[in-house]
């Protein structure tokens, strides 16, 4: 499924970079772009603030899929801008830098729409944590991943210890964090850190995921995403699935899906 891009881009925040939001596929696919290639897409507090505003726009949009991309080539994101946070006091690190990053990345993780991090290059530190906050991670063949913070005398501070452990287990998470070694895309896929490594063009693999996601009933899909997150937090499926099934059975999309199945035709889901 393809469409013409309809772009709504942010003006650059400053020389410190920007976060833009654009739409394609007739508005059904949104793309968040971290744009600071001259600094390897290192994130500043201003960029975190802008990312949070963009996430607020997405929460009320009609987009069904969200892509998280970064500008430039060879580097996805190197994470937090060291020159920025190294000037902060311990109290300011606590009050703003760490808490802001957690709040913004948690908001990304809680978006109702499925999210895909498109990683074509180096994703380390907060850059890997940004990708970990997405539902899917698709990697190019030259992608590399790491959490090197202990080499700076600090620790992964934007959810990396928790989300990485959920994906790859405690032993693998300790291996990546404590040794500071980077892993390539092939190893990341073997560990379960990334969902797929593109055999050829990364955008082709991204489009395949987008088409698959756009083919499902959006309300049911988004509710299912919330159910999986709830299960990961220990919610009993016997209760939450009962409530969710009752809700989705009242949607127009459910009636459309059943009717299309009976008629052996393709459903036309409208998100209602």
Q: 119 and 155 in one domain?
A: yes
pLDDT in tens, 118-150: 999 999 999 999 999 999 999 999 999 999 999
Total structural domains within the chain: 2
Q: What is the DSSP letter of 13?
A: -
Evaluate whether residue 268 is within a structural domain. no
Q: What is the CATH number of the domain that holds 172?
A: 3.90.226.10
Distance CA 103, CA 159 (A): 10
Measured in degrees and rounded to the nearest 5, phi and psi for residue 172 equal: -65, -40
Q: 228 and 206 in one domain?
A: no
Evaluate whether residue 270 is within a structural domain. no
Residues identified as active-site: 129, 149
Evaluate whether residue 271 is within a structural domain. no
Q: 228 and 200 in one domain?
A: no
pLDDT in tens, 74-116: 899 998 887 776 676 677 777 777 889 999 999 999 999 999 9
**Whole-model pTM?**
0.89
pLDDT in tens, 22-48: 999 999 999 999 999 999 999 999 999
Q: 196 and 226 in one domain?
A: no
Q: 126 and 36 in one domain?
A: yes
Structural contact between residues 30 and 49, judged by C-beta atoms closer than 8 angstroms: no
């Amino acid at each position: 499924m393809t469409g013409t891009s309809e772009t709504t881009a942010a003006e650059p925040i400053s020389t410190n970079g920007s976060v833009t939001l654009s739409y394609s596929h007739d508005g059904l696919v949104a793309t968040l772009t971290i744009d600071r290639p001259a600094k390897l897409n290192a994130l500043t507090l201003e960029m975190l603030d802008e990312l949070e505003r963009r996430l607020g726009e997405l929460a009320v949009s009609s987009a069904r899929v969200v892509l998280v991309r970064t500008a430039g080539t060879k580097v996805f994101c190197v994470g937090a801008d060291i020159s920025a946070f190294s000037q902060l006091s311990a109290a300011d690190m606590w009050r703003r830098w760490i808490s802001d990053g957690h709040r913004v990345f948690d908001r990304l993780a809680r978006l109702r729409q499925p999210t895909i991090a498109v990683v074509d290059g180096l994703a380390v530190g907060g850059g890997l944590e940004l990708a970990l906050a997405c539902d899917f991670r698709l990697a190019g063949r030259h992608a590399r991943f790491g959490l090197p913070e202990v080499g700076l005398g600090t620790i992964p501070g934007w959810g990396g210890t928790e989300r990485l452990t959920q994906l790859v287990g405690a032993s693998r998470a300790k291996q990546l964090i404590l040794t500071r070694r980077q892993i390539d895309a092939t190893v990341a896929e073997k560990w379960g850190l990334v969902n797929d490594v593109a055999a050829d063009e990364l955008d082709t693999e991204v489009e395949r995921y987008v088409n698959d996601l756009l083919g499902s009933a959006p309300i049911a899909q988004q509710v299912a995403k919330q159910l999986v997150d709830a299960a990961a937090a220990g919610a009993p499926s016997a209760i939450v699935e009962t409530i969710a099934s009752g809700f989705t059975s009242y949607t127009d999309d459910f009636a459309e899906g059943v009717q299309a199945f009976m008629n052996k035709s393709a459903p036309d889901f409208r998100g209602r």
